[in-house]
Chain A
Amino acid sequence: MAKVLPLPGLYAFNMSKKQQRYIIGILSERGYITQDDVVRIASFAETSGLSLVKILLNFGYISRKDYQKCLLEEGYDFKDVRLEETDLEVMMQMDLKTVDRDLILPLRIEHGYLVVAVADPTATADLLLLEEKYGCPVKVLLTSDLDILWLGHKLLGEKYVKKAVFELLNRDPESSTLVTFTKTQLIIIFSVIALVTASLFLSFINTTIIINILMSSFFLVAIAFKLFLALTGSKLELFQAVSKKELKKVKKEELPVFTIQLPVYREDKLIKKLIWNLQSLDYPREKLDIKLLIEEDDYKTLNAVRDLDFPAIFEVVVVPFHMPKTKPKACNYGLYFSRGEYLTIYDAEDVPDQDQLKKVAVMFNKLPKNYICIQCALNYFNRNENFLTRMFTLEYSYWFDYMLPGLSTLDIPVPLGGTSNHFKFDSLMELGGWDPFNVTEDADLGIRAFAKGYKIALVNSTTYEEANNEPFNWIRQRSRWIKGYMQTYLVHMRNPSKLIEKIGWKGFLGFNFFIGATPVTFLIYPLLLLLFICYLAFDLDDIRTIFPDWVLYISIFNLAIGNILIIYVNMIAVFKRRYYELILFSILNPFYWLMHSIAAYKGLWQLITKPFYWEKTDHGLSKVQMNRDTKPEAI
């Protein structure tokens, strides 16, 4: 069918001969795949519309190294397509989605031949179509599928990447964080600063007392609200959202296709781990559509995928360069290549519960139609590594086991967690995907979904992540989160009356005391603590003048009861997780909150100076490995 041309590495495609061998046949003959695999692959290709090579390399049948070895044994030669000359005009005639699906990329027309990069030299039918489309014979250049994807997405992905960045802005500019502060917001902020400054000059003590009263009252309400949320959320422990019995009834053939997006950047060390984690998911392999979203300039990760010694179970999607370089932009881009009915996002180091996807599928079937997202709890597998990981575990247990269920129960907008949120694909597209300019895009999406009348549920399943074990790395990550909360707050508070109209008073107050209060609390906390320490250490009587008796009473209540209640809720949360050894660590929370404050100030600074900058968190620093056998019992 193909013969070697004088130009090394190029093969002329001969359409006069009938195709006799397909790639799966070659691989089977050479013992790389079994006969059963051949049947399964052929059947899957027929039902899914995916090319054989795509299935072979991305659904765990053969490693790229073996694939290459086999074709080399067959006499084929591999070329690096990235070094080839390209003609954009020729390339643009192909849709990127087709290239992505078939792994065939026309590069240029040379000497009357259409030079085409292919990953599967035996894909006769596709090449015939190309000859027909371009009206000239085809010369094929065998190359790695990853190179085709890299080149294809880089050169043809502009349309999609622009959509990924600007879709929300074009559709709903009010919800886009492209503008951090609106004019009205700036006027209000500067007016308040001016008013406070002037008042301090005119009457320092009275102004300070008023500020004190406002801060104390704010803290008081915020603490009461959080306690109430925690108690409400803890009730969910009494019910199993999806029971084991329900899971047993699930029929594999009835399960929908599930897309898993894995946005990564320089996570080359985690790729192997990632595959192990994904392989243990209890979900039919053919119904999984796993996309590893790699940035165009992330050669490290791309090469790590290329160098894998074992079969991969994900497809690579290369995200072309476009500012802002954020995770939501990558995820939005990935949406255009997804096939699933449901879609979820995991980080590279995530270890989801094995039955998580099944539980989500069952849960979606049980819920009314307006539930478009299911959030799973997040927790950490390296919790006992050091102080930071312990505190982080305490915090996450409290956040995902108590706070978010509380919000959901009280029908208050839920700020989604960074990963393990499972969406109905169509609804996600309808919402315009994630805001690429928001650095906590999930939290923002949760609010937007709620504003459109959609609901978010929580399911009794956990994804274990790697807790940040390095202080500076932690502060980087946290500063991004807090900056994102500030962005989310600012964007939704552009028009408060409209927001009230959309989410109601309860939602509005919940939003203010949850999303708005979180950064403010961390910003104020060190100031109040400093004031208190000065009062205690230096016995400064002047401080008393700015604390009238009843304000002092509220302040002491906040300091003592507030701290204790939040510490207590942390204790209960880890108790629920059966992490008994962590309970005493919750007493150290006040020190941990100081780290939050540092991150909050960093986040505030970045909000003003570089709002869309994505503070990258380094993963894979932990020396602890997740062992599924030692995982705490399911709750």
Chain B
Amino acid sequence: MNEKFNKSLCLISFLLFGYYIYIAYLLYSGGVHSNEALFFTEKSALLHEGDVDGIKLVGLTFPQLPFILSWVFSFVGMGFSPVLASALGTSVLFFIVTASIRTHEYRNWLFLGILITFILHPAFIFLAVSGKSSYMVLIFFYLFVMSIFRYFRTNTSYHISVASIYFTLLIFCSFKFSWLMLFILPIIFFVALQSMIVANNDPLDKIAIALNTKSIRRKLVNKTLAVYLIIFALPITAILIFRMLNQTYTGDADYYLNSPYANYSAITDQTDNLNNLADNKLERIFPEVHFLVTVRILLFAPLLLFCLGIFKSINRNIFVVFSLFFFMEFLKIKYPSVYIPIHFYAAFICLCWAVITNAKSTRTLRFSKHFYLSIIILQLVTAYFAMNSSHVPEEKKYQAALVSIVMQKPLERDDDEILSSCIKKISSNDGILADDANAYQIIALTGSAKIFLTPEENSFLAALAQPVNHVSYLLATKKESQYDSFGLLNTNTIQTLRLKGISLHPVCSNKNWILWRIKNSKK
């Protein structure tokens, strides 16, 4: 029976992958791209074709794991590789989620709900077709939560160590999840306390007995510390080592977070997402501000209410759900000017399935089939509104593009394609001086890094000082561009070069960029 189920699951996952690839291809060919996918594409291109320090590029580009996977797929097709990875990854996520309900008593209708979500939920479609790293965040998040729940149930070292490994991988997909550690601390203490063999079962009495009896107190402290170590030793040391590597290679331990050459969000969070703040603030019914994030989560994932009902008798599991609410509120406090991306919300839907799978008693689920499926449908609607009113422009862009596909309307092409198509016409012998800190989109859309001379290459600084000797073109930001202050090649650079007597002529331009031709170039 299980084997048959597995086979069907593989087949459905494969079909789902095909479905995602189809949508992704429509968007890709229609000129709809995400910044993160373009960032990965550009880095892969540099790695394949540029004269760069490969170790630094592979080792320090962040988020690391999605980038490496995307790079692996770049052998199939450079530009499409991040999308291929995300489509495949989301199908794998579907497989993992459905595989975990394989032995569930009500797997048929649970499966139906999952399938509907993966096919129609705008957030999941966005994650699958955008080429962003979110699919991997969700995979490791789901696996982590599942392992934690299983550890609570079985108390085995296998599950807790696997949870720790997943947590480490999760952090290397999205660093913000490292803060989740803070919110897991009290849960572990609570679980350790629950596992103590004390005559009284009442939680408060247990605490009192455990804290007042020397032997139990010692055991409790030992166990709690042991679990902390097992769960957190690996991620913390991995972060420390990664920071040490960053320090060794670049002289900045936070290079992977702050440098625009290693992390696309270093600029995006200060441009696209930040600029959007003022425009959108008043338009939202539920603005993303402190203490209302929880409400937004509940609106986005009403399935949570259903799950809390199932879990009512298992306090520690409820604590996990609440700790994630606190975590989200904390993110809003910690990063007040950055909007929470959609995958953080989508994680709660995955959490719901983890909750259902690990529910001790399935009796309450018996009458819930219609309720569950209704919520799944409702969730599609709320997700549509959430995406549509998202504070992150990219999410809105994809939502609009998806609607356009459904309505068979033409897609709005990426503005940077104007520049990339212009560059494609230039002979590969002529070099273009470009700073990929902010110009990665254009390099990626060009499809090749051969023609570009970027800061990762040794001769960049020499070329910046004396471009005439090295390149024929120069790609710089416009003064009014939001990226103008984030790169080495901007309006000021052009002024300086002109003052040096270098003759520059614009070749083509768009909203943010101008491609300059260097006259009398020796190149």
Contact = CB atoms under 8 A, between A and B. Distances in A.
A553 B59 contact: yes
A571 B227 CA distance: 10
B55 A553 contact: yes
Contacts of B229: 571, 583-584
A509 B273 CA distance: 52
A238 B59 contact: no
A217 to B, nearest CB: 16
A190 interface: no
Given A234-B161, A568-B233, A580-B226, A560 B154 contact: no
Contacts of A556: 245, 248
Interface residues of A, number: 22
A560 B241 contact: yes
B53 interface: yes
Contacts of A553: 55, 59
Interface in B200-257: 219, 222-223, 225-227, 229-230, 233-234, 237-238, 241, 244-245, 248
A267 to B, nearest CB: 35
Interface string B152-167: 0010111011101000
A44 interface: no
A583 B164 CA distance: 15
Nearest to A561: B241
B157 A575 contact: yes
A221 to B, nearest CB: 19
Interface range, B side:
20 to 34
B234 A564 contact: yes
Given A231-B162, A568-B234, A575-B230, A580 B225 contact: yes
Nearest to B240: A560
A235 B158 contact: yes
Given A564-B241, A571-B233, A576 B156 contact: yes
Contacts of B154: 238
B222 A581 contact: yes
Contact of B157 (A550, A560, A573): A573
Interface string A564-584: 100010011101100011011
A85 interface: no
A556 B55 CA distance: 12
Given A561-B241, A580-B223, A575 B158 contact: no
Interface in A540-572: 549-550, 553, 556, 560-561, 564, 568, 571-572
A237 interface: yes
Contacts of B238: 561, 564
Contacts of B160: 572, 575
A234 B234 contact: no
A575 B188 CA distance: 15
B328 to A, nearest CB: 29
B230 A571 contact: yes
Nearest to B241: A560
Interface in B349-378: none
A166 to B, nearest CB: 46
Contacts of B164: 568
Contact of B226 (A549, A560, A564, A583): A583
A580 B222 contact: yes
A474 B231 CA distance: 32
Given A553-B59, A580-B222, A238 B158 contact: yes
Contact of B161 (A550, A572, A583): A572
Interface in A562-612: 564, 568, 571-573, 575-576, 580-581, 583-584
Interface string B33-69: 0000000000000000000011100010000000000
B156 A549 contact: no
Nearest to A552: B55
Contacts of A237: 156-158
A543 to B, nearest CB: 15
A575 B158 CA distance: 10
Contacts of B219: 580
Contacts of A560: 241, 244
A175 B5 CA distance: 48
Interface in B96-132: none
A549 B245 CA distance: 13
A575 B157 CA distance: 6
A611 to B, nearest CB: 39
Interface string A199-235: 0000000000000000000000000000000010011
Nearest to B220: A580
A549 B55 contact: yes
Contacts of A550: 54-55
Nearest to A549: B55
Contacts of B53: 549
A556 B162 CA distance: 24
B243 to A, nearest CB: 11
Nearest to B227: A575
A572 B230 CA distance: 7
A245 B300 CA distance: 48
A390 to B, nearest CB: 14
Contacts of A234: 157-158, 161
A576 B223 contact: no
A582 to B, nearest CB: 9
Given A564-B234, A581-B222, A576 B157 contact: yes
Contacts of B157: 234, 237, 572-573, 575-576
From B154, B233, B245, name the one whose CB has the most chain A CB atoms within 10 angstroms.
B233
Contacts of A238: 154, 156, 158
From B157, B227, B248, name the one whose CB has the most chain A CB atoms within 10 angstroms.
B157
A564 B55 contact: no
Interface in A405-455: none
Contacts of A564: 233-234, 237-238, 241
B109 to A, nearest CB: 28
Contacts of A231: 161-162
Contacts of A584: 229
21 contacts: A231-B162, A238-B156, A550-B54, A553-B55, A553-B59, A556-B248, A560-B241, A561-B238, A564-B237, A568-B161, A568-B164, A568-B233, A568-B234, A571-B229, A573-B157, A575-B157, A575-B230, A576-B157, A580-B222, A580-B223, A583-B226
Given A235-B158, A238-B154, A238-B158, 15 more contacts: A234-B157, A234-B161, A237-B157, A237-B158, A550-B54, A560-B241, A564-B237, A568-B164, A575-B160, A576-B157, A576-B158, A580-B223, A580-B225, A583-B225, A583-B226
Nearest 4 pairs between A and B by C-beta? A576-B157, A580-B222, A580-B226, A234-B158
Interface of A: 231, 234-235, 237-238, 549-550, 553, 556, 560-561, 564, 568, 571-573, 575-576, 580-581, 583-584
